[in-house]
Amino acid sequence: MVEKIFPRTVSVGQPFEYTIKTTNISGMTLNNVTVNEVTPTNFTVQSVTPQGSNGSFNLGNLNPGESKSIVFKGAAAGTGTINACASANYTFALCHTINVVQPALAITKTMTPEAILNCTPINMTVEVKNTGSGEAMNVRVTDQLPAGLTLANGGTSFDEAIGNLPAGASRTITKELKAASVGRFENMASTKADGINAVNSNRVAVVVKQPKLEITCKAGGQVMMGRDACYEMTVSNKGDAVSNNTKVTATLPAGVTVSNAGEGSASGGSYTVNVGSLAAGASKTFRFCLRTNTIQPLNVSATVTGDCSAPANTNCSINIYGVADIGTLVTDADGVVPLGDPHTYQVAVKNQGQIQLTNTRMVVTLPAGIQFISSPLGKLEGNKVVFNFGTVAPDQTVNSTLVVKGLTVGEHLVIGETTANEIKTPVRDDELTAFFEK
């Protein structure tokens, strides 16, 4: 827009000024703005600001909304009119700006450095960052896991799209992994985007360990009934990780008491030792003793358990034996007896040993001059009275009687001999009786 500002009437010879104001009313810069003003007729020019050349005034560039003015100073040369016309021209450029950017990807991988097989999680994190100056388009992350390492859902690799990534932005992917065995597993991930070739991450590794428990039992031989039967058990960690909450539980046979619990405790037919933490390569030995009053093999089975370790088992046995012993008696109440009168002998057998006696038998031999009359249990076989007592339990006494009469005067010796399957040496009892004439 070009405006002229001037007075409507002036006097001859009196100084005055008029102004040409040029304004950029567009939204873009106008270049090479030039105003042309022919020197007015009947006007004596005293000064022009700014200076022009042959009536042409180059105002340069005008930014949007900017104004520039040209001021003419002078006086009228005579009466009449002062006529002058101004014109303006300019150029403008249609410009454009293209931002040139260079997106770039960086990928960082982390993984749990050490884990316990089937017990502690293995976490993997992959972070992708756009370190360049523009948006990375269609970013993807891929990871081929090493053999023996899988995703929690069983997959062996993943290829995941994370979309567009603005400059300076980052995205993180987290996965849970599991190992099939102990060992060292390592690899790296990679990322790529439109126009960006694959970029590899740093190489990371996880070492998978596991405790491995073993248990052995030392016992054997035989122990007399009623005495300590002792067991020595050793727990070992043959793995490469600590076994925590290690515990041994032994199942005890029926009919026993724990005579020496050692480092453990007994309750309800079981014996328990809390070993606690057992370092890799370490072992622990403990001892306990049992007692029983019955003859039986004392079979003890034990299991060791611990965090992150498979249970291990062992068993061992001690044979309990008993000692046989017997007490016998053949006696009468009166050692001097009239001929022909009934005379009674008492016979008794007591199991004084630790085991039962079987096929227990007492044979009482009657000498010449004594005649058998009767017995509730004994049977006469020739000159012998046989008592078959059968099985006699420990501390049990069996007894009976036999009735005889004397046939001849004098001393007569009654001999009892007792045997049992468990007694190697027959046991003899003699009873002397004197018979006389009435």
Residue 129 β-bridge partners: 106, 170
Region 71-75 average pLDDT: 90
Provide the domain count of the chain. Answer: 4
Among 91, 116, 149, the domain-final residue is: 91
Contacts of 180 (CB under 8 A, 6+ apart): 148, 149, 150
Among 150, 180, 209, the domain-final residue is: 209
- Return the CA Rg of the chain: 62
Judge if 331 and 422 occupy the same domain: yes
CATH of the domain at 35: 2.60.40.10
Q: List the one residue out of 198, 134, 138, 139 whose CA is nearest residue 166.
A: 134
The answer to the question of residue 226 being in a domain is yes
Total Cβ atoms within 10 A of residue 418 = 25
Ranges 68-72, 83-87, 173-177, 209-213: which has the least confidence = 83-87
The answer to the question of residue 347 being in a domain is yes
Is the confidence at residue 406, as pLDDT, over 80?
A: yes
The H-assigned helical ranges of 45-189 are none
Q: How far apart are the first and last CA of the chain?
A: 182
Judge if 240 and 190 occupy the same domain: no
The answer to the question of residue 100 being in a domain is no
Is the confidence at residue 141, as pLDDT, over 90?
A: yes
Per-residue pLDDT tens for 302-329?
A: 999 999 999 999 999 999 999 999 999 9
Q: What is the largest CA-CA distance in the chain?
A: 211
Judge if 217 and 197 occupy the same domain: no
Is the confidence at residue 92, as pLDDT, over 80?
A: no
The answer to the question of residue 97 being in a domain is no
| pLDDT on residue 250 | 97
Identify the band that residue 85 occupies on the pLDDT scale cut at 50, 70 and 90: confident
| pLDDT on residue 54 | 82
Judge if 191 and 233 occupy the same domain: no
Q: List the one residue out of 212, 152, 158 whose CA is nearest residue 187.
A: 158
The answer to the question of residue 381 being in a domain is yes
Q: Which structure tokens are listed for 163? A: 């979309």
Region 262-267 average pLDDT: 94
Region 390-414 average pLDDT: 96
Is the confidence at residue 111, as pLDDT, over 70?
A: yes
The answer to the question of residue 80 being in a domain is yes
Phi and psi at residue 331, in whole multiples of 5°?
-150, 165
| pLDDT on residue 211 | 97
Residues of 317-339 as b/e, b for ≥16 C-beta within 10 angstroms? bbebebebbbebbbebeeeebee
Is the confidence at residue 94, as pLDDT, over 80?
A: no
d(CA 175, CA 153): 10
The answer to the question of residue 96 being in a domain is no
Judge if 112 and 66 occupy the same domain: no
Identify the band that residue 363 occupies on the pLDDT scale cut at 50, 70 and 90: very high
Identify the band that residue 84 occupies on the pLDDT scale cut at 50, 70 and 90: confident
Region 71-81 average pLDDT: 89
Q: How many helices (H) and strands (E) does the chain have?
A: 0, 38
Among 321, 349, 364, the domain-final residue is: 321
Say if residue 338 is preceded by a cis peptide, omega within 30 of 0: no
Ranges 55-59, 107-111, 349-353: which has the least confidence = 55-59
Judge if 337 and 427 occupy the same domain: yes
Ranges 41-55, 92-106, 181-195, 346-360: which has the least confidence = 92-106
Q: What is the mean pLDDT of the chain?
A: 94
Region 254-279 average pLDDT: 95
Strands 114-116 and 204-209: parallel
| pLDDT on residue 123 | 97
Judge if 372 and 417 occupy the same domain: yes
| pLDDT on residue 203 | 97
d(CA 417, CA 430): 9
Judge if 74 and 159 occupy the same domain: no
Judge if 362 and 402 occupy the same domain: yes
| pLDDT on residue 385 | 98
The answer to the question of residue 98 being in a domain is no
Question: Apex CA 435: angle with CA 339 and CA 350, to 5°?
Answer: 110
Total Cβ atoms within 10 A of residue 221 = 8
Judge if 294 and 357 occupy the same domain: no
Judge if 190 and 284 occupy the same domain: no
| pLDDT on residue 95 | 67
Per-residue pLDDT tens for 194-241?
A: 999 999 999 999 999 999 999 999 997 899 999 999 999 999 999 999
Judge if 297 and 388 occupy the same domain: no
Amino acid at 113: P
Domain ranges, residue 417 = 326-436
Region 395-407 average pLDDT: 97
